[in-house]
Amino acid sequence: MTADLWVFFGLAAVAIWSAACMLLSRNAVYSVLFLVLNFLTVAVFFLLLQAGFIALVQVTVYAGAIMVLFLFVIMLLGAERVETRPSLPWQGPVAAALVLLLFGLMALAFLLSPQSAATPPPATPVFGSPESVGEVLFDAYLLPFEVTSLLLLVAMVGAIILTRRERSREAR
Amino acid sequence: MNVPIGYLVALSGVLFGLGVLGVLARRNAIVMFMSVELMLNAANLALIAFARQWGRLDGQVFVFFIIGVAAAEVAVGLALIVAIFRTKHSIDVDDVSGLRG
């Protein structure tokens, strides 16, 4: 077994363990922290797959900004532990059965597809650098990029409208 | 890192399945939402692996867009959760049953 495989299996174990702990922990704050660990592990995968720019975006935007937003809302609502009473006793077993079915289908699709044990060909050193990603982003994908900016603006306005208290109703 | 692409796709599938399990089995709306983020992240890992395999940057650009869309989704989704918490004083999805027949 080569060093690359050791690195892969070690990181994969951390990623799966943190995802499982995220699901199992009763406290939502711990869930957020485990998910941050998962995102950081996946960012290391991105770095090893020659996607340095995306790895940094993942760390700053996803593990940084988005998860801080989650933490902020959890602490704002004081909703760390609200899940106490199981009202649907069959929910857990049915969910586990459906996920096992999904895993079975994925394994079937995986085994039926042609597999090659070959490792990917060596990429050029500039592959995945900010310059090369920017060239593709602002050349072939310029319109989606601008649409994304519009989407973020709409989401920001929507979030403000949704959480705004109605002033006239409070005055009454 | 030189590992066969199938390993990374399998890891991505496992992470996606754990995300599905979270959405199906948990009832805390915030944890369900985090499970959706886990699924998006698993898809990102597969896209980056494919981009590395074929030596094209389109996969990395897709991941960039997915992160942008996820940011918008989180903003609106958390605003909805805050609005629901104000009226129901709970984020248990079983309590949001106002339209139940």
ipTM for the complex shown: 0.91
Does residue A168 belong to the interface with chain B, where contact is any CB pair within 8 Å? Answer: no
Tokens of B53: 């395999």
**Residue A102 to chain B, least CA–CA distance (Å):** 7
Q: List, in order, residues 6 or more apart from A15 with CB less than 8 Å away.
A: A38, A41, A42, A45, B11, B15
DSSP calls for B22-69: HHHH--BHHHHHHHHHHHHHHHHHHHHHHHHHHT-SHHHHHHHHHHHH
* Distance in angstroms (rounded) separating the CA atoms of residues B36 and A63: 14
Tokens of A89: 């006793």
**Residues B40-77: pLDDT tens digits?**
999 999 999 999 888 888 999 999 999 999 999 999 99
Number of domains in chain B: 1
In a domain, B98, yes or no: no
Does residue A90 belong to the interface with chain B, where contact is any CB pair within 8 Å? Answer: no
**Residues A73-120: pLDDT tens digits?**
998 888 666 656 666 778 888 999 999 999 999 999 888 887 766 777
Q: Which CATH architecture has domain A3-81+128-171?
A: Up-down Bundle (1.20)
**Residue B100 to chain A, least CA–CA distance (Å):** 16
Which among A98, A120, A128 has the least Cβ separation from residue B5? A120
- Axis crossing angle, helix A28-48 with helix A3-24, rounded to the nearest 10: 160
Query: For position B70, which CATH number holds?
Result: 1.10.287.3510
Beta strands in B12-62 (DSSP E): none
Beta strands in A19-156 (DSSP E): none
CA distances from B44 to A39, B41, B48 (A): 11, 5, 6
pTM of the model: 0.89
In a domain, B96, yes or no: no
Owning domain of residue B14: 5-91
Does residue A96 belong to the interface with chain B, where contact is any CB pair within 8 Å? Answer: yes
- What percentage of chain B carries pLDDT values higher than 70? 98
